[in-house]
Each structure stands twice: as structure tokens, then as C-alpha cells.
Amino acid sequence: MRTAEGVEACLPIRSDMDLMWVRQHVRQAAARLGFGLVDRTKLVTAASELARNTLVHGGGGQMESARVTRGHLQGLRLAFSDRGPGIPDVDRTLSDGYTTGDGLGLGLGGARRLVHEFAIDSRPGAGTTVTVVSWALRPPHPREEM
Amino acid sequence: MTDEFPHLGKGHVPVLRLGDVLLVTLQGDLHDSTAEQLQQDIGETIARTRATGVVIDISGVEVVDSFLGRVLAEIAAQARLLAARTVVAGMRPAVAITLVELGLTLPGLRTALSTEEAMQLLARPGPDPRPGGTRPGSA
Ligand SMILES: Nc1ncnc2c1ncn2[C@@H]1O[C@H](COP(=O)(O)OP(=O)(O)O)[C@@H](O)[C@H]1O
Ligand SMILES: [Mg+2]
């Protein structure tokens, strides 16, 4: 039985290089939990968008990664948090094309479409935490040969 | 696979010249600054070599987020201003599915399923093929 080993982690998000480590971690954790190729690609892409927001808009922070279970399902929960300026109008921020920077404004709305569960907790002046969960929609690993 | 760690340090992506076409092969995970450096290198190489086409092979790329997607679109736009056509080749199906869901459909970007097909596309004379698919009689 596969466990949370190598899945639970807390990674800093302080530089461009950290974005690569975040993607690498999420790719490997999702593979361990039995995510298929497409779901894994979606989750890593969402993580890349959210981690970049933590870095660029939040002034840096961290990603916490944990295994979650529901019945027989296994999933990966990723929480991106920072102590940056916060998001004053979350609804508007989620709409495609909205940006206060020089990005494309697709990151937040796009990440929401790429995962199964998505929540933003943001307080102006205190910071932002975006938490996402995706489920591996097949058995975590092929049955061992007897 | 020796894929244990991302390639650390500021990577450098070589720009190869094949006749009138520049060939760039992206592999694995790219550092943001590596992608930006590549954009600059391609522009300078087009100007220096008078290349008329650029093929960017992304078959080895697992993740295209909005940052890398934008860099690819900007490379194509910049090449167009320098009178060269750009074709992105070999996008993985999982990447294509993800980009659509992300909302990044890159309408200005010409694509081909393989580097060979990209080369054939660029070998055809005439104006920049219609982004999103060539149709007979549409030129
Ligand atoms: N962690 C964050 N802290 C503060 N603001 C944020 C954060 N994440 C996103 N935002 C705000 O939401 C906007 C939209 O984000 P996004 O959709 O990723 O587009 P982009 O990053 O291209 O601007 C950003 O421009 C920024 O104003
Ligand atoms: Mg963003």
C-alpha cells in the first residue's frame, strides 16, 4: 500500500528556482498517488500558476502538500500561502484576463478549472492562502503480481 | 530516467540552424529566466542569420503554464516582425488539454504534430499560414 511518504512536504516559494522545485514535487507526489498523465499535468500546471502568484503577487511564501483520502479515493491537497497584500475582490480576480500585473490574468481562474476543489482565503493586508485538492480517479497503483 | 532533480542553474537552450530554419528543442522543466533568455537568443539569431522560419520542438516538455505559453507566443510575434514564421512542434496531448482548460489557446501560434511536419510547413512558399489551421484556398 502506498503511503503519504514523499507526499507530505512544505516547500518555500521565494525564487524562480523554487517554482521548479514546486512543479517537481507536485509531479512526483501526484505520480505516487496514482494520478493519470492528464490529471497530473493539470495539477502541476495549476500548482505552477498558484506558486507564481505566491511569489509575484504575494511577495513569497510557501506550499504545503498533503495526501487526503475519501473512501477509496486518494488525493493531493496543496496550500499556497503568503503574507502579502491580499486580494480585495476575489470574484473579480477569478475572472479570466483580470490582472494587476503584467501577466495574462489566466492563472487563478485557470487553476480553478484545472483542479477538483479550489478555495481562496484572503484578507487585505494580511495575506492569501489558496488551497486546491485533486483526486486520483483510479486505483492508486496496479495490483501487485502474485 | 535521471529525472530526480530539475536541471538547476540558469540553463541555456541551443538554437540550431538548418538552412533557413532555426530549430530549438525544449526539454523537461524550464527556469523562467531560461525561457526569457531563449526569446532574446532567437530574435538575435534571426536577425543575424536571416532565417525565415523557427521550429520550437516541445515534445519533451511536460508542463506549459501561462508564463511559458506567453513566452512562446511572444517568440512567434517577435519572429513575425523579423519576417520569420514560427511553428511549435510536438505538443503533448496532455499539455494541449491543459492549455485549453487554462484558457490559453494561443491563437497566433502555428503548430505541427512533429518537427518533420513543421519543417514541411515552413518549406511551403507563401505568406504566414493561417493560425489555427491551413485551409485550401484560404491564402
Ligand atoms: N497571492 C496573491 N496575493 C495577492 N494578489 C493576488 C495573489 N494571487 C493573485 N492575485 C491577484 O489576482 C490577479 C490575477 O491573478 P492571475 O489570474 O494569476 O493573473 P496574473 O498572475 O497573470 O496577473 C493578479 O494580478 C493579482 O492582482
Ligand atoms: Mg498568475
Domains of chain A (ranges; CATH) run 9-144 (3.30.565.10)
Q: Residue B15's beta-bridge partner residues? A: B24
Q: How far is A114 from chain B (nearest CA, A)?
A: 7
- Rounded CA-CA distance B91/B105 in Å is 13
Amino acid identity of residue A130, one-letter, is V
Determine contact, residues A94/A131, Cβ cutoff 8 Å.
no
The fold adopted by the segment(s) B2-123 is Transcription Regulator spoIIAA (3.30.750)
Contact A21 B6 (CB under 8 A): yes
This prediction's pTM: 0.89
ipTM of the complex: 0.89
Q: How far is A126 from chain B (nearest CA, A)?
A: 26
A127 lines ligand 1 (CB under 6 A): no
Cβ pairs bridging A and B (under 8 Å):
78
Give per-residue pLDDT as tens, B28-79: 999 999 999 999 999 999 999 999 999 999 999 999 999 999 999 999 999 9
Determine contact, residues B128/B52, Cβ cutoff 8 Å.
no
User: Which residue's entry shows cell 516541445?
Assistant: B58
From the CB of residue B57, how many other CB atoms can be counted at a distance below 10 Å?
Answer: 20
List the grid coordinates of B58.
Answer: 516541445
Q: Which atom of ligand 1 is nearest to the CA of A53?
A: 8
From the CB of residue B5, how many other CB atoms can be counted at a distance below 10 Å?
Answer: 10
Residues 68-107 of B with CB under 8 A from A: 69-70, 92-95, 97-98, 101-104
- Measured in degrees and rounded to the nearest 5, phi and psi for residue B57 equal -85, 115
Give per-residue pLDDT as tens, A15-31: 999 999 999 999 999 99
